[in-house]
């Protein structure tokens, strides 16, 4: 069956690579549809000749079966809140499409072709963030997708909101004519939360790399000892993520003349004669414990990727059509608990990552802590100028919001649908909140990396020259978007420019 990876999601959602349907896969979908058409002629099959949810107890007359599918889509197009941006919306379409390409859903090939037409013609469905309870599928959000596929509602083209019918007419795309169970197939799945989760993971992996980068650069700037991220120290704690973070830090600072070897202190005979040392023997935890803090973040994100890819390549409908078993199975593959739990875990570790960056930033702001830089990295006149005092407020406030958002959605089920849906996943809510925590993390990271570059500019010229090649490269990239601060000037545009760069530039572990 068709299999898709997160790397391919990135190609189709971000880079807008053309989606090409394999003929053998389309043939399998067609066979599944043909089997369901024949199998359902003399049987009661949920969603074909019955109502939906609690209304499944009512049989639908033959002459109303087609109307049933349209009524389902229209009645559930009730989303509110912000519409998903193009990247997230494309990922939702990809997730629904790939689920259908498993050939277990019994949808018509027309549904497949319409989704591909939307993707390849740059038609962005209007899908709102709020509406799904994450069981029986993302009914509301996917109904909005279905509404657009049948030529109704609104879509986005080049960022502009337009009537779907007008856009489809201009692109010579005919509205989808739904058959059999196409309406139910479109909305009865986890594809909104899964598509969003896929994009969240892609961004989260970039963010971890930036956190490792920032942590490595601050170690250089303050001339810390090298053993906190040494292979020997981290090898005795048996966590893959921790060891990977330490390795990335070692790779990043390679060639640095600022990182100190612990051997220097061991050989310092004058230090042995002192009762109090001028420089810290060990750094603060936000500097020294980076592998131990970012390690579980990385491990969590890596496992979440595995879960998301499994969901992307699963059939998450109800019922499931299995021609090879000569049967149709009714169950709950639409339940989003796997995604809900992983998005809760991801937002939790992203908040911890944000807290680490905020603490490192605070270390740079406080001259009593770092013992090297002026208060708030102020390169102007103390008292008259304020340096990075203002931007620190923004970082601290944003971090606090993420902390408040980090309670679990996974355990917040509320029964609804006449108690037919008596326990639900709230998976899309979890993905939406994780998306917000991710956005916050990039905002704090933008401020922190700017502060690190400010600190670098406050180093003595000979110290600055000793930076690692990687640190010099990142410094140059940030300096193209945010300048050294001497006089007090508004920083919001610089923060926005750095935010856009670090979030949208591929940066993989």
Active-site residue set: 46
CB neighbourhood size of 199 (10 A):
26
Name the nearest CA neighbour of 210 among 347, 348, 356, 91: 356
CA angle, 107 then 85 then 398, to 5°:
130
What Cα–Cα distance (Å) separates residue 283 from each residue in 215, 392, 482, 500? Answer: 12, 21, 28, 32
Dist CA 224 CA 283 (whole Å): 7
* Extended beta strands in 297-425, E state: 320-322, 327-329
Coil, strand or helix at 189:
coil
The contacts of residue 414 (CB under 8 Å, 6+ apart) are 133, 424, 426
Phi, psi of 47 (to 5 degrees): 80, -5
**Cα–Cα distance for residue pair 21/36, rounded to 1 Å:** 22
Instruction: Specify whether the backbone of 259 is left (phi greater than 0), alpha (psi in -120 to 50) or beta.
Output: beta
Q: Within 13 A of 125's CA, how many CA atoms are on the CB side?
A: 33
Residues 6+ apart with CB under 8 A from 267: none
Rounded Cα–Cα distance for residues 210 and 203 (Å): 11
How many angstroms separate the most distant Cα atoms in the chain? 97
C-alpha dist (Å) from residue 423 to 186, 332, 387, 415: 22, 12, 52, 6
**DSSP β-ladder status, 124-125 and 154-157:** antiparallel
Residues contacting residue 422 through CB under 8 Å, at least 6 positions apart: 415
Distance CA 290, CA 278 (A): 24
SS3 of 201, please? helix
User: Contact 410/337 with Cβ under 8 angstroms?
Assistant: yes
Convert 270-306 into a string of H (helix), E (strand) and C (coil): HHHCCCCCCCCCCCCHHHHCHHHHHHHHHHHHHHHHH
Which residues partner with 100 through β-bridges?
A: none
């Amino acid at each position: 069956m068709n299999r898709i990876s997160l790397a391919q999601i990135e190609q189709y959602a971000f880079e807008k690579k053309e989606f090409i349907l394999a003929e053998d896969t389309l043939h399998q979908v067609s066979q599944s549809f043909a089997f369901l058409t024949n199998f359902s002629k003399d049987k009661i099959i949920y969603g074909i000749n019955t109502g939906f949810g609690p209304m499944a107890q009512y049989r639908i007359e033959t002459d109303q079966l087609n109307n049933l599918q349209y009524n389902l889509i229209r009645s559930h197009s009730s989303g509110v809140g912000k519409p998903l941006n193009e990247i997230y919306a494309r990922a939702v379409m990809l997730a629904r499409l790939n689920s259908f390409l498993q050939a277990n859903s019994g949808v018509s090939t027309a549904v497949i072709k319409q989704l591909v037409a939307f993707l390849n013609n740059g038609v962005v469905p209007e899908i709102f963030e709020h509406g799904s309870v994450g069981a029986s599928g993302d009914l509301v959000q996917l109904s909005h997708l279905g509404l657009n596929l049948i030529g109704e509602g609104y879509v986005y083209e080049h960022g502009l909101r337009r009537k779907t019918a007008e856009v489809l007419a201009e692109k010579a795309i005919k509205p989808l004519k739904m058959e059999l169970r196409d309406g139910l197939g479109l909305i009865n799945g986890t594809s909104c939360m899964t598509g969003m989760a896929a994009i969240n993971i892609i961004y989260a992996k970039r963010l971890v790399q930036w956190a490792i980068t920032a942590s490595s650069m601050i170690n250089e700037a303050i001339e810390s000892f090298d053993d906190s991220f040494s292979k020997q120290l981290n090898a005795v704690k048996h966590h893959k993520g921790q060891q990977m973070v330490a390795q990335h830090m070692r790779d990043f600072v390679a060639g640095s003349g600022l990182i100190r070897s612990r051997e220097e202190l061991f050989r310092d005979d004058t230090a042995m004669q002192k009762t109090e040392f001028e420089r810290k023997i060990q750094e603060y935890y936000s500097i020294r414990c980076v592998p131990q803090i970012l390690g579980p973040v990385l491990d969590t994100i890596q496992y979440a990727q595995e879960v998301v890819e499994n969901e992307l390549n699963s059939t998450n409908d109800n019922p499931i059509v299995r021609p090879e078993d000569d049967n149709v199975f009714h169950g709950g593959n639409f339940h989003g608990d796997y995604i809900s739990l992983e998005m809760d875990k991801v937002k939790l570790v992203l908040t911890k990552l944000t807290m680490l960056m905020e603490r490192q930033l605070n270390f740079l702001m406080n001259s009593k802590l770092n013992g090297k830089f002026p208060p708030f990295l102020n390169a102007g006149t103390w008292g008259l100028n304020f340096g990075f005092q203002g931007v620190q407020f923004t970082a601290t406030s944003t971090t606090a919001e993420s902390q408040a958002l980090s309670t679990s959605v996974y355990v917040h089920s509320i029964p609804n649908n006449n108690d037919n849906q008596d326990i639900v996943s709230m998976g899309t809510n979890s993905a939406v909140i994780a998306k917000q925590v991710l956005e916050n993390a990039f905002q704090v990271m933008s401020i922190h990396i700017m502060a690190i570059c400010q600190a670098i500019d406050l180093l003595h010229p000979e110290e600055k020259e000793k930076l690692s090649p990687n640190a010099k490269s990142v410094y140059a990239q940030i300096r193209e978007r945010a300048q050294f601060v001497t006089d007090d000037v508004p920083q919001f545009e610089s923060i926005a420019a750095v935010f856009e760069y670090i979030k949208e530039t591929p940066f993989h572990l």
